[in-house]
Amino acid sequence: MVVGGLTAIGVGLSIGLAAIGTGMAQGPIGAGVVGAVAEDRSFLGMGFVLLAFPETLVIFGFVFAMLLMLNIF
């Protein structure tokens, strides 16, 4: 499987920008979860779930990158 120049740039951008977006989303969520757990430990499980939601953005970026590499588009 040979990836051309513009396709390689698209693959890199799809994963890189998705990872940056996830990092920007997880910062405030993590701070909020730590504050909530400091007051009431029963929020720990919900905090893990809330931290997992932005990770789906990286998964979507990875799927899009795979579609680009396999020349689906």
- Tell me which residue range forms the domain holding 62: 5-69
- Tell me how many degrees the CA angle 54-23-34 measures, rounded to the nearest 5: 80
Give the chain's domain count.
Answer: 1
- CA-CA distance, 59 to 70, in Å (whole number)? 17
pLDDT confidence of residue 69: 87
pLDDT confidence of residue 2: 64
**CATH number for the domain harbouring residue 56:** 1.20.20.10
pTM beyond 0.95, yes or no: no
pLDDT confidence of residue 73: 62
Q: What is the pLDDT along the chain (73 residues), one digit of tens a residue?
A: 666 888 889 889 999 999 999 999 999 999 999 999 999 999 999 999 999 999 999 999 999 999 988 877 6
